Structure 1
Amino acid sequence: MVHPACRPLLPGLAVLALASFCGAAAAAPGDEIRYRVRAGDTLIGLGQTLLANPAHWSRLQKLNAVADPYRIPVGTQLRIPVALLRAQPRSAEVVAVVGEARANGRALAAGETLGAGSALDTGDDGHVVLRLPDGSRLVLPARSSLRVDTLKGYAGTAAQDVRVRLDKGRVESRVAPQRGPAARYRVDTPTAVIGVRGTEFRVGVDDGASRAEVTAGRVAVSRAGERGRRAAVRELAAGFGLVARVGAGLPQAVPLLPAPSAAGLPTLFEEPLLRIPLPAMAGAHGWRLEVAEDRPDAPVLASQQLASGPARIAGLADGDYRLVLRAIDAQGLEGRDTTHAFRLKARPEPPFLGAPGDGGKASAGGVAFSWTQAPQATTYRLQLSAGEDFAAPLADVEGLGETAYRAELAPGNYRWRLASVRADGDRGPWSAAARFVVRPLPQAPEPPAIGSDTLEFRWKGEPEQRFDYQFAADESFAAPLHEGAVPEPHASLPRPGAGSYWMRVRAIDPDGFISPWTGAQKVVVPAQFPWWLLALPLLFVL
């Protein structure tokens, strides 16, 4: 027969509970506590201090076959049915609150206490940690709704009776070993009841199903049958999970997915936005990822459920953290945890690099570096390298108070990067390195070939380059006489009158890079000898 107290739970529900949670009507070890008699104890006195109805001391006398209720040998173990004990209301302490969390419609804060009847809700970024009177922890992550239906203890015992109802989301519990048979910890869901006595487990509710995952300890799982039938009992041990669905038979427990490998997880992040790669793992259809400060019982600051990686987490301050990662199987059961410690050092943030940009070019000689003003930066540190890394930089310049720097560089391939430094000397992470090429300066035009009507200029160039030229009567090129663009390193200009002139050119690479102008090259155009003077001797002969 099913105990009458359990019948309201049976219709249409899968029941996950300890086998002794709903026992037979007769007193069983799971329905009573043991009390060790001390000097001065009497049954009448114990009735007044322990029982809900002091007059029920006579039931204790009969149950324990006590001859004289006033004289009980010290050390005697009395059996006391839980149903006779006087209940005492207890409260849970709110240990931590992160993000949006409410209790009975009002904002919840750490340090508060909650009793039976409290309804908790967490928002998209919410996270609540409760500590029960016996030290057990109950964690309500984001997007969850839970009600504390029962929270009480019993006179004369440290045991407690905790019953909560999860209507949406998840709850994670680390339950202290429940002292004595009166101790109960139960989570009700729309389709299941999960009861434990000292274990670590998780419960989730979604899509008309309840999921239970045990990571330490064990529970007994049963599905209620028709009235009068004996319910089958299956054991859900550590490392196993089960999905209870409305209208379906209770399935076999399945092994939880193993803890994923942490081999590819970074130990240092240097950007405010964390990009966390997820490992390849057979059987994984999704992932649960949680981040908390790396200290005992720290609340979860960020939690994500995602189908594939990488995970992205923002909004964390610099510091040491603990990442918990678990795989999710095809049924939605979450597997064993991998815990991974890492450090975030992303501040002060580096500036944005200006010139030369990544893949940029500069001309040999004085190369100008520029960057933005970064927040929290008092000075900057610049490194310049001609290799693939900065193990042996060409330059390592500290204490730059401006957002510009100039260096004399020969033609070649280079990389540069910057870091921000606070006033106290705390250096932030390096910026991404920018690669750039220093190109040789274009060669000045050769002395022109001066013809009777033209000036022919030639200079050296590279394949596919184009060229601009300017020809002026003044070295400043304020008013060029001729200027233009040519596809080859050659320009033919009309011969000007006698005098001094200046010519300069610049190269344009196929990718659009424009070199600086060459220096102004002076050209002296001599006066032309008048042709008619050659005819004067002939006139005198005639």
Structure 2
Amino acid sequence: MTFRRIPVIIRGLLLSGLVLAAGAAVADDIRYRVVAGDTLIGLGERFLARPSAWPRLQQLNGVADPYSIPVGTVLRIPRGMLRPEPRAMRVEAVSGAALADGRALAAGDEVKSGARLSTGADGHVSLRLPDGSTLELPARSRLQVERLHGHPDLAGEDVGLRLEEGRVESHTEPQRGPAARYRIETPTAVIGVRGTDFRVANDAQTGISRAEVTHGRVEVGARGVRRALDAGFGLLADGSRALGRPQPLPPAPDLGGWPTLFIEPVVRFALPAVDGAERWRVQVAANPDFRPVLAERSARGEVRFDGLPDGEYHLRARLVDAQGLEGHDALHSFRLKARPEPPFPGQPADLGKAPAGPVNFVWSGAPEAASYRFELVAGEDFSAPGTVREALTDTGLRRELAPGSYRWRVASVRADGDHGPWSAVSRLVVREPAAVPEPPEVGEDTLAFRWAGEPGQRFDYQFAVQDDFAEVLHAGTVAEPAVQLPRPAPDTYYMRVRAIDADGFVGAWSGAQRIIVPADFPWWMLLLPLLAL
């Protein structure tokens, strides 16, 4: 390749839209088309950092007469000779930890040449260049702004960024003007852009860089090899190996059926396994342009987001293949309404039991709650007729319940009437009172009692001389619904029982059953009439 052919190749690459090169010996020049009245001395005054260096332009371009240059002549001017005019990027949005030279970034800040940007584990910063191009620096990334300037009287900006670690996502406006240049450099690649959507990643530990194009076309160069990279493709650049070949990016995943409403503070999405994908990347933002991303996760199986305030959200998800190339985005919207947080149901506990009659319901005092909504239904459907609905300021109430199966729940209400989500539903079984013992079988020396029971139950019993059971003669626990006691002296006595279910639930005592033990009738009393004869 001759020196005179190099400008022609550069011109072709610039017209193709993008140059992405690493280790390539490419002349770094701009092209200026001469207009009427231009002289090399005048151009030196307008463009060069050292105006007196115009003779070098004459020599470089073979200009015979520096005072008379044919209109339309294309002059090659090395960028290194141009006078820079500092420009700045503007921070549009920040979430989490994002720093510039160790200083926390905020929306509206300016970022100039020489700045070092970094984001923490929860950080994200969105920047806008003077030409309208946008730059996203996600979490765990480090970026050096090496160049950010324009040139007087030359359209276009010269932007040079070095990605040291992490990722950068960029949408660049079509680069217009002879001085327009936009490059992102990694240790193994230099990405030059003239209007496209692309992502670049660099893994400092492995030394592998990745480029992914979602719109437009690029050319990648490394170790003397160049490859075209069209939209929908990505490749790996490893400084120790030959440049990888373009690979199709994973398709946008199907998010059909993903939930659109969450009533708990932790937002969870199931991430199904997809052929060819090793994991997912999921981002959440409060606006559809994702500036900034509020939270980002790289996961498989399930992704969780916590700490989000109630509101409307936008989500984008992409698949990541085994090489780490990230695919096309799929979009989804959802709403979070988890506050005011519901109280914790206290008693009766879920799957609890209670004897028929008055039942106490108790729950915790919830933050932000000025009052509570309580619902109780016999069955499962809270919309069914007969559902008990109460508005309360206390954290409990008492209800008379007949035997049956119930569900109950409670919600917090702010002072302004904002109703939060319902608590978890608690299930309750209200049991019949303990079965009444049958009349005892009175034997010569025993009293035998029997009552109804269920398989697996045990039973407590008490036998006393008064119905308040203050003086208990016999008490114990039996595995069957029956007990045999010694026959007491003739008198009136009281007996009660209660059931203990297999799960440990202790039922209420049955009512006090009155037992009359009769006096014996001696046989010799039958002889009294005979003796009277």
Counterpart of 2:207 in structure 1 is 208
CA change 1:497–1:136 in 2 (3 A) is: same
Counterpart of 2:153 in structure 1 is 156
CA–CA distance in structure 2, aligned partners of residues 2 and 387 of structure 1: 88
CA–CA distance in structure 2, aligned partners of residues 171 and 71 of structure 1: 44
CA change 1:479–1:87 in 2 (3 A) is: same
Query: Does the Cα contact within 8 Å between 1:82 and 1:182 map onto a contact in 2?
Result: no
Counterpart of 1:240 in structure 2 is 233
Query: Does the Cα contact within 8 Å between 1:457 and 1:490 map onto a contact in 2?
Result: yes
CA–CA distance in structure 2, aligned partners of residues 35 and 353 of structure 1: 81
Could you tell me how far 1:98 is from its partner in structure 2?
Answer: 2.2
TM-score norm. by structure 1 comes to 0.85
Counterpart of 1:9 in structure 2 is none
Counterpart of 1:397 in structure 2 is 389
Counterpart of 1:18 in structure 2 is 19
- Encode CA deviations 1:420-453: one digit per residue, 9 max, x unaligned: 1111111111222223333322222223334443
Could you tell me how far 1:304 is from its partner in structure 2?
Answer: 1.5
CA–CA distance in structure 1, aligned partners of residues 28 and 150 of structure 2: 23
Unaligned runs of 5+ in 2: 7-16
Query: Does the Cα contact within 8 Å between 2:154 and 2:178 map onto a contact in 1?
Result: no
Within the candidate set 90, 93, 96, 1:96 is matched to 93
Write the letter of the residue equivalent to 1:127: H
CA–CA distance in structure 2, aligned partners of residues 247 and 17 of structure 1: 25
Query: Does the Cα contact within 8 Å between 2:18 and 2:194 map onto a contact in 1?
Result: no
* Matched positions, count: 517
Could you tell me how far 1:168 is from its partner in structure 2?
Answer: 1.2
CA–CA distance in structure 1, aligned partners of residues 493 and 26 of structure 2: 116
Larger mean Cα displacement after TM superposition, 532-541 or 363-372: 532-541
Counterpart of 1:336 in structure 2 is 328
Counterpart of 1:447 in structure 2 is 439
Write the letter of the residue equivalent to 2:244: P
Could you tell me how far 1:102 is from its partner in structure 2?
Answer: 2.5
- Encode CA deviations 1:12-69: one digit per residue, 9 max, x unaligned: xxxx961799786597xxx2245877xx998866654444344567888997999997
Unaligned runs of 5+ in 1: 7-15, 226-231
Query: Does the Cα contact within 8 Å between 2:315 and 2:332 map onto a contact in 1?
Result: yes
Query: Does the Cα contact within 8 Å between 1:64 and 1:79 map onto a contact in 2?
Result: no
Larger mean Cα displacement after TM superposition, 185-194 or 412-421: 412-421
Partner SS for 1:221: strand
CA change 1:66–1:251 in 2 (3 A) is: same
CA–CA distance in structure 1, aligned partners of residues 34 and 413 of structure 2: 67
Write the letter of the residue equivalent to 2:193: V
CA–CA distance in structure 2, aligned partners of residues 26 and 423 of structure 1: 67
CA–CA distance in structure 1, aligned partners of residues 387 and 531 of structure 2: 77
- Encode CA deviations 1:375-404: one digit per residue, 9 max, x unaligned: 212222222334444342642423122222
Write the letter of the residue equivalent to 1:99: G
Partner SS for 2:472: coil
Counterpart of 2:9 in structure 1 is none
Superposition CA RMSD, Å:
3.4
- Encode CA deviations 1:347-380: one digit per residue, 9 max, x unaligned: 1111222233333323333333222222212222
CA change 1:66–1:506 in 2 (3 A) is: farther
Q: How does 1:184-333 map onto structure 2 within 5 Å?
A: 184-206=181-203, 207-225=206-224, 232-306=225-299, 308-333=300-325
Query: Does the Cα contact within 8 Å between 1:35 and 1:80 map onto a contact in 2?
Result: no
Could you tell me how far 1:153 is from its partner in structure 2?
Answer: 0.9
CA–CA distance in structure 2, aligned partners of residues 222 and 71 of structure 1: 36
Counterpart of 2:13 in structure 1 is none
Write the letter of the residue equivalent to 1:128: V
Query: Does the Cα contact within 8 Å between 2:377 and 2:388 map onto a contact in 1?
Result: no
Counterpart of 1:229 in structure 2 is none
CA–CA distance in structure 1, aligned partners of residues 400 and 270 of structure 2: 41
CA–CA distance in structure 1, aligned partners of residues 169 and 350 of structure 2: 48
Write the letter of the residue equivalent to 1:346: A
CA–CA distance in structure 1, aligned partners of residues 34 and 303 of structure 2: 54
- Encode CA deviations 1:273-312: one digit per residue, 9 max, x unaligned: 1211113322101111111113544311211112x22112
CA–CA distance in structure 2, aligned partners of residues 523 and 492 of structure 1: 14
Could you tell me how far 1:161 is from its partner in structure 2?
Answer: 1.0
Q: Does 1:436 align with 2:428?
A: yes
CA–CA distance in structure 2, aligned partners of residues 152 and 314 of structure 1: 40
CA–CA distance in structure 2, aligned partners of residues 454 and 146 of structure 1: 94
Percent of aligned positions that are identical: 55
Larger mean Cα displacement after TM superposition, 101-110 or 421-430: 101-110
Counterpart of 1:417 in structure 2 is 409
Query: Does the Cα contact within 8 Å between 2:21 and 2:189 map onto a contact in 1?
Result: no
Counterpart of 2:451 in structure 1 is 459
